Structure 1
C-alpha cells in the first residue's frame, strides 16, 4: 500500500476475480508435475514448469491489480490496518514454521541422542557414540564431517546484520521523502542478500564435495539442510520482495506517510535476520 485518500470507500471490497481459481489450478498442475517428476514419469518436469510459470504470472497480475488499486486511491486507513494485521499473522505463521524445525533439532539432539546412548541401549548398539554429528546406530550412515561456524557462516551473519542496517537506513530515508537515498540503500540490502545466497551455495558445494555432508547424512544432515535450506529460500523470497519494492520506489510509488508495502517487506527481512541468528548459534556453534 502506498497511498491513502480521504475519498476512498469506508472499506474497499474488490469485485469478483479470476486470480484465486487460476492460482489454484496453477498450483495443482505444479504439484502434480512435481509428484510425477520424483516418480520418474516423463511429463513431470514439463507439467511442473508449466504450473510454476502459470503461478508466477498469476502473482504478477494479481499483485499488479492490488498496486493499481492502491495508487488509484481505493485504500484508506482501514485497509492499511487490515494489511498490517495480515502481514503480522503471516510472519507469525513463519515463526511457527521455523519453531517446528528448531523443535525437531532439539528433540533429536537433546532427547533422542542421549536416550540411544544410555546404558540400556549399549546392548543393541555398543559402538554408538552419543555425540552430535554421529553416524547413527551401528554406523548406518556414511562417515561425514560436521559444519563449523568459520568462515562462511560467520561472514553470512555479518552480511545479514549489515543488510538489516542498510534496510533501516532506507526506511528512514523514505520517511524523510528522500527517494534517491531510499533506492540506494534498498539496492544495497538486496545486493547483500544476493551475496549471502552465493556464499550459501558455495557452502553446500563444500559440504557435499569435501565433508561428505548430505541430506542423507543421518539426522544431522537432514536437520542441517532443512533449517539452512528453508532459511535460504526465505532470504531469496525476501530479496524478491525488496526488488519489487525497489522497482516501485523508482516508479514513484509510496509517500513519506503511507508506504506499508515497503514496511511489510522490511518486517519480513528483519524476521529472516533474526531467524538466521538463531540458526548461527544452534546449528553452527552448539
Structure 2
C-alpha cells in the first residue's frame, strides 16, 4: 500500500492495444464489406466484434485487479478522471456533428432548395417545409414521428433512471450496499425498458408510418440520431451492469469508487443527449 501512496503506478507492457487495433480494423473493414455486399464482410465484422469484446474484458479486468490490489494513488485517479472527461467530450462532439447536420438540412438546405432560382433550376415544385421526404423514392410519403406517446414516456423513463442512479451513488457514499445495488438494478431495468420502447417505436415507424432510412433527409437524420443514442444507452446499461456485479463482489468504498462515477457520468451524458433529441427531433 505504501507503494501506491508514494509512487505513480506504471503498468506492465500490455498486448491489449494490439488486439484492439486489429479488432477495429476487422470491424471497420467487415462493416464496409457487408454494406457493399461482399461475402467476407459479415465474417470480418463479427470476428472484429468478438476480438473487441475479448480485448475489453481482458484490459478492463486487468485495470480492475490493479485497482482492487491498491496500486492506484490519487494521481492515477486524476488521470482516469481527465481521461473519462475527454472521452465524454469526444462523445459530445460526435453527437454535435449529427445535430449540426440536422440543423443544416432543416434551417439552411431545405429553405434554399425551395426558394427563387434554386427551386426553378434544381427542384421545380419543391415545397420548403419540414419534415420533407425529398429526395425520396417512395411516392406515398411518410408520417413523421410525434413527440407525445412513446417518446415522451421514454423521456420520463430516462429522467427517472438518472434519479435512481444518483440514489445509488448516495448509497455508496453512505456505505449502504443495499441501496447501491438496488439503485443500480433499477437504473439498468429502466434502461432496458427504454430500449424496448424504442424497438417498438421503430417497428411502428416502419409498419404504420412508412418512415424509413430511405425517407429523405428526415428519415435518415431521425434514425441516425435516435439509433446512435440507443446504442449509447445499451453501452451505458452494460457499464452499469458491470458496476452492479462489482458491487456484489464487494468492490468500491465511499472514498474510492471512480469506476462507478465514470459509468454514472456516461449515463447522465446519455440522459442529456436524449433531452436534446426529444426537443429537436420529436417536438420542434
TM-score by length of 1: 0.94
Separation (CA, whole Å) in 1 of partners of 2:275 and 2:27: 33
- The answer to whether the 8 Å contact 2:137/2:214 transfers is no
Q: How does 1:100-179 map to 2 (within 5 A)?
A: 100-124=97-121, 125-136=123-134, 141-142=138-139, 143-179=141-177
Counterparts of residues 43-62 of structure 1 (less than 5 Å):
43-62=40-59
Counterpart for residue 259 of structure 1: 257
Which of the numbers 67, 72, 75 marks the counterpart of 2:72? 75
* Matched position secondary structure for 1:17: coil
- Are the counterparts in 2 of residues 183 and 249 from structure 1 also a CA contact under 8 Å? yes
Deviations 1:26-48 (A, max 9, x none): 22222222232223222322222
Assess if the C-alpha contact under 8 Å between 2:195 and 2:230 holds in 1: yes
Match of 2:93 in 1: 96
TM-score by length of 2: 0.95
Question: Partner of 2:89: helix, strand, or coil?
Answer: helix
Aligned-residue RMSD, C-alpha: 1.4
Q: Deviations over 1:118-172 (max 9, x none)?
A: 12234233421111112226x6554111111120000000000000000000000
SS of equivalent to 1:123 = helix
Moved over 6 A (4+): none
Quick check: 1:243 aligned with 2:245? no
Say which structure, 1 or 2, has more relative contact order (CA 8 Å, 6+ apart): 1
Q: Distance in 2 between matches of 1:105 and 1:38?
A: 24
CA deviations 1:80-110 (Å, max 9, x no partner) are: 0001111111111111111111111111101
**Contact between 1:91 and 1:268, CA under 8 Å: does it hold in 2?**
yes
Hey, what does 1:268 align to over in structure 2?
A: 266
Count residues with an aligned counterpart.
281
Question: What are structure 1's unaligned runs of at least 5 residues?
Answer: none
Deviation at 1:49, TM superposition (A): 1.4
- In the aligned structure 1, how far is the partner of 2:210 from the partner of 2:26? 35
The C-alpha deviation readout for 1:4-63, integer Å capped at 9, x for no partner, is x55415211101111111111222222222232223222322222122111101110110
Q: Is the contact made by 1:141 and 1:218 (CA closer than 8 Å) also made in structure 2? A: no
Residue in 1 that maps onto 2:227: 229
